[in-house]
Amino acid sequence: MSIIFIESSGIHQNSGGKITTSSCGAQGFMQLMPKTASGLGVDATNPQQNVLGGVKFFKEIFNSKNFKNKTGIDKIVMGACAYNMGPYSSKLAGNWGEFKASGSSVQGYGIKLKMCLGLELTSDERTYVANRMGQRDVDAYAQSCYANRKGLGR
């Protein structure tokens, strides 16, 4: 559910029935790119197939060479970053700390996942949320992410 919240705020279609589509063309709950959906054998415009496609994509990510030796929170957070940027980026070879130090623009995605899961942020992650995400009250924002992910904020 956390990925669905981050990707599409839990909205597959708008009130007019139009599929939620990002500025780069990703579609539906899991924000699958059309070519990715096709490669996974799913229809991104169908809600059930969209979620199934996202699950299949995560399976590919976790089976890729960059994830064979990852465990615990590194595997989960880096998996989310890979979902956003593609599973074969060389930046994914290290651990979460190394990934953040690389200056990847996707690190905010991993930090947001940590907040959605209710995990404690490090001091540098808190600074990132305050400065790069523009959130003055990091704790309130983290709580909001967690509550919305659980469906409590709506």
Give per-residue pLDDT as tens, 71-124: 888 898 999 888 888 767 778 888 888 888 887 778 898 999 999 989 999 999
Write out pLDDT tens, residues 15-31: 788 888 888 898 998 99
Task: Mark 90-108 as b/e (b = at least 16 C-beta within 10 Å).
Answer: ebbebbbeebbeeebebbb
Report the run of H or E that residue 115 belongs to, with start and end. helix 107-116
Write out pLDDT tens, residues 77-89: 999 888 888 767 7
What is d(CA 75, CA 72) in angstroms, rounded to the nearest whole number? 6
* Cβ partners under 8 Å of residue 49, min gap 6: 37, 42, 43
Whether 111 and 129 have beta carbons less than 8 Å apart is answered as yes
